[in-house]
A and B are shown apart, each in its own frame.
Chain A
Amino acid sequence: MTTTTASATTAPATSKGAGTPVLTARGLVKTFGRVVGLDGVDLDLYAGEVLAIIGDNGAGKSTLIKCLTGAEIPDAGTIELDGKEVHFRRPEDAKEQGIEAVYQNLAVSPALDVASNLFLGRELRKPGVLGTLFRQLDIKKMRARTREELNRLGITTLQDVTVPIESLSGGQRQAVAVARAAAFGSKVVVLDEPTAALGVRESNQVLDLVRRLRDQGTPVILISHNMPQVFEVADRIHIQRLGRCAAIVTPDSHSRTDAVAIMTGAAEA
């Protein structure tokens, strides 16, 4: 931790990570009918950091990351990636720019196998006429690449990449989803409650993966309800409350109790 400011609650640019942020959002607004999801949210994400987003139910955590990853289109506000403004209309748009996400409970297609899930939406085709004209999938290559990725990420619990996801445990499914995001997220990896359905050992494996990604230079946005995990792994913590950013704190500047108090509105930031 290299945080120097005592009041890390105000300007995010003063906290960890020098230079310009990788991902910046300014004044994001998202409404659903009369319901306000986001009410003018700013966010900065720096290279090589884990930014946790915490907040009560309905505070706008998932909506915020859906706007950042193209799953929702914000009503107002701007998003910049590497200083360039981007407009994501679909998840594919964000993926093309190197932003990958694992959404809560919506990780994988159960009937497809591990390799098919890893490459879902960006399948590899065979070289030559077979691939271009006849659109033939290169299943061997996809399976080999899947094994490589799982090894690189240190995921040892998945031995067979040809089994359908439905025959795997919750932790293994989550590992597939996280591996997919990690494998293709060249700029940013976003994880929404990646450990919610997992046991202690499996959760630790996911958190290790998050640290490994950060150490390799990929910034990670992590949504979690689990305060011990957040304070264990996060460099900075973005506290979302009633559709706004209530504060940005660090594990050094604030205690868990402080963070929860800001989150619930019991304390001012």
Chain B
Amino acid sequence: MTTSTETVSAAEHIFETAQTPVQRLRSILHRYPALSPAIVLLVSIIVFGMLNERFLLPGNLSLITQQVAIVGTVALAQTLIILTAGIDLSVGTAMVLASMVMAVMATENGVSAPVALLIGLTVGLMTGLINGMLVTKLRLPPFIVTLGTYSIFLALTLLYSKGSTVRGTDMPALMTWTGKSFPVAGVNVSYGVVIMFLLYVIMAWVLTTTAWGRHVYAVGDDPEAARLAGVRTTWVLRSVYISAGAIIAIAAWLQMGRSSAASPNAGADLNLDSITAVVIGGTSLFGGRGTVWGTLLGALIVGVFRNGLSLAGLDVLYQTLAVGILVIVAVSLDQWIRKAR
């Protein structure tokens, strides 16, 4: 309600008093949720750059983007699911399953490389479809569903590949093409990084300019309100899981290029790392709030911290410690920003 002109109550008086700088900052951060991870990224780049001059070398920056590409792509899929108030614990094993199918098809089954990629992509879609159907048909919490499919996809991967790694040198060139890079103004940019970035551009555009995008947010916000408003919530949820599956399959291709191999033991940390990137990027685990750009920044922050601390000569354990602290700080900051008016 607007304040009436004749009387101003004590509370209304507070609304009308000028905001302190801290309050104003909080309002701005509230309105632009990707701003706080952007500031954190900028500050950490400056700090690590001052700590070690090698950090800002083009070669090192290129390395960071390549290290971030896979977790960044998987985190994009994770963002979609978390926006609908879900969570996907199976992203890592789904990606490994897709990459093993691609690699084994192309090497042992003699399928041509583009077809092997397409089959792997279909497998990725299927993992998403399975998760989506279980979440919508059986109405089980996504946490439980994907905890189960995490093990199922892992077992399928080991059964299918018999536990052996396929080396990149045995694969057709297309399978590891994403690891190749081209120079842009002295910095080597890998095709994998370009693909990841394109996926972010497409997803950001779809989420902000289409009805489907609105519906993803509405379903995550309040599924019952969305359903009663006429949103086909079941269809929205299924399409989100299927899209996530497709993105994960593309991540599988990036993974083969990056490590020049397809290993059934890769990607064990991807589940939690992708959730970490989403959370640091300011997306709410309760759904309905967040942006994909925040997630990209979140993934970059983790990459910068790991790389910077390693250049500073610290043990890998300290990197993990730092990432843990980052998550707690990010969520606390998010809680504080939410109180803005």
| A109-B211 in contact (CB<8A) | no
In the complex, which residues of chain A have a beta carbon less than 8 angstroms from the beta carbon of B226? 109, 120-121
The answer to the question of B228 belonging to the interface, with a C-beta cut-off of 8 Å to chain A, is yes
Smallest CB-CB separation from B2: which chain A residue? A157
In the assembled complex, B179 has its CB within 8 A of some CB on chain A: no
Contact with A along B311-341 (1 / 0, CB 8 A): 0000000000000000000000000000001
Contact B1 A169 (CB under 8 A): yes
B 261-298 contacts with A by CB, 8 A: 288-289
Q: Are A136 and B209 in contact (CB under 8 A)?
A: yes
Question: Across the interface, which residues of B come within 8 angstroms of A116, CB to CB?
Answer: 214
By the criterion CB–CB under 8 Å, are B229 and A120 in contact?
Answer: yes
Q: Kindly list chain A residues whose C-beta atoms are within 8 Å of the C-beta of B69.
A: none
- Per the bound structure, the CA–CA distance linking A137 and B206 in Å amounts to 10
Asked if A92 lies at the interface with its beta carbon under 8 angstroms from chain B, I say: yes
- Chain B residues whose CB sits within 8 angstroms of the CB of A157 once the complex forms: 1-2
Does B197 touch A at the CB level, under 8 Å? Answer: no
Cα–Cα distance between A144 and B226 once the two chains are bound (Å)? 22
Residues 137-158 of A, flagged 1 when their CB comes within 8 A of B and 0 if not, give 1010000000000000000010
Which of the 9-residue segments B101-109, B113-121, B137-145, B216-224 touches chain A?
B216-224
Q: Which of A13-63 contact B (CB under 8 A)?
A: none
On chain B, the number of residues with a Cβ less than 8 Å from chain A's Cβ atoms is 24
Q: How many Å from the CB of B284 to the closest CB on chain A?
A: 9
Cα separation A108 to B217 with both chains bound (whole Å): 12
Which residues of chain A are within 8 angstroms of B218 by Cβ–Cβ distance?
109, 112, 120
Residues of A within 8 A of B288 (CB): 109-111
- One of A1-9, A99-107, A206-214, A237-245 at the interface: A99-107
Give Cα distance in the complex from A90 to B227, angstroms. Answer: 9
Which residues on the B side are within 8 Å of A122 (C-beta)?
A: 230
Check B1–A171 contact: CB distance below 8 A: yes
CB distance from A32 to the nearest CB of B (A): 16
From A110, A111, A123, A169, give the contact of B211 (CB < 8 A): A123
Specify the chain A residue showing the minimal Cβ separation from B214.
A116
Is A172 an interface residue when CB atoms closer than 8 A count as contact? Answer: yes
B229 touches A111 (CB 8 A): no
B229 adjacent to A121 (CB under 8 Å)? yes
B222 touches A109 (CB 8 A): yes
Q: Does B210 contact A (CB under 8 A)?
A: yes
Do A121 and B231 touch across chains, with their CB atoms under 8 A apart?
A: yes
A-chain residues with CB within 8 Å of residue B150 when the two chains form the complex = none
* B217 CB contact (under 8 Å) in A101, A112, A123, A180: A112
Task: Give chain B's interface residues, CB within 8 Å of chain A.
Answer: 1-2, 209-212, 214-215, 217-218, 221-222, 224-232, 288-289, 341
The 10 closest A-B pairs by CB, nearest first: A121-B230, A123-B211, A120-B229, A109-B218, A109-B221, A135-B210, A92-B230, A111-B288, A121-B229, A106-B225
